[in-house]
Amino acid sequence: MGSNSLTLAPAPRSAAAEEVRAEVREFLAAELAAGSFTTHVDTWLSGVDPAFSRKLGERGWLGMTWPKQYGGHERTAMERYAVTEELLAAGAPVAAHWIADRQSGPNLLRYGTEAQRAEILPRIAAGECYFVIGMSEPDSGSDLASIRTRATRNGDGDWVVNGAKVWTSNAHTSHYAITLVRTSPADPASRHAGLSQLLVDLSLPGITVNPIRILDGGHHFNEVVFEDVVIPGDMLLGEEGAGWHQVTAELAFERSGPERFLSTYPLIAEFARRAAEGQDPAQLATLGRLSARLLALRQLSLRIAGALDRGELPDIPAALVKDVGTTFEADVIDEVRRVVDVPASLDSPDPLGRALAEAQLHAPGYTLRGGTNEILRGIVARGLGLR
């Protein structure tokens, strides 16, 4: 069920969510003390650590809301929210499994065949199978309806794919891509017709993954090129021609989570410690402004989690969270930079200087991934009947 309103019911209080939150905090404190990871900014895309993902799977913190028959744990969206929020706040290395757990698994539950679910979902829940998003293209950007990657049937009933995807985070370390392709010619009357989704094994012949490095030299973005890649016919996800509807449903999961406003939280936390120690009025005022915005964003994101728990599809509020949340992430950098006299450097001995540098160097991606702000505002306006 879709939602074209920005009015959502408050998220219910959950004792179970607070119980699992305490468990995650205890686990993270132990992992930090053992040196198994160090806190960084933006780790839900840049922090790939398969061993850490497997630890989460062993504790039942992946696939939390899924049916037990597929390796899930049948817990609530609020419990899952508490887990993801704590992992993000700690700057933990969760990028390996993030996309698979956040949206690929729910997409498979909604549209996948029984064979697809049985084969893939238990591996995701165990922290052993990783997915990427195959949507944006070199000449399409946020205008997904204009994609040119094509899939045609061959004589054996399999799909032959040609084209390219871009900004494909962690394709070089992942197993599958849910790939949006054009399976029939574009209809001038409906640009959204003729699109389908395929489950693409990224180890297949004909797939080339080219790195796109960000400003600090890090590598999580990629271009993925498909040259006569043969995809088994039974790896169609959902219905042929229903790709646009399926992508829209998937984006509600992609755009609404706490990662859309917590990418720079480790910077806020380090700044908060500095402001509390120094009691500088300008720093405390900045911390107050950032905290107020963060709390408001969290409430909206929690309401969306509650809506997903009720089986709703809050695509318009999700677009709003992504727009306002990623704008906040970039604003955090500017707000902090104005009131601290700390050089931003990845080599700084000061943890605030390191966090500030990481946040600055990752900032160009905040408002790009998941749809640019201009596109998102158009989605919200159309959903509210304003255009």
Quickly count: other Cβ atoms within 10 Å of residue 20's Cβ.
23
Q: How far apart are alpha carbons 300 and 298 in whole angstroms?
A: 5
Contact between residue 282 and residue 63 where contact means Cβ atoms under 8 Å apart: no
The upper half-sphere exposure of residue 69, i.e. CA atoms within 13 Å in the direction of its Cβ, equals 5
- Taking alpha carbons only, the member of 62, 41, 25 closest to residue 262 is 41
Active-site residue identified among 79, 137, 254, 358? 254
> Amino acid identity, residue 3?
S
Does residue 254 carry a catalytic annotation?
A: yes
Residue with tokens 């905040």: 366
User: If you ran DSSP here, which 8-state letter would residue 194 be given?
Assistant: T
Helix locations, the chain, DSSP H: 15-34, 43-46, 50-58, 77-89, 95-99, 105-111, 114-125, 243-256, 259-262, 265-278, 281-309, 315-339, 351-366, 373-383
Residues annotated as catalytic are 254
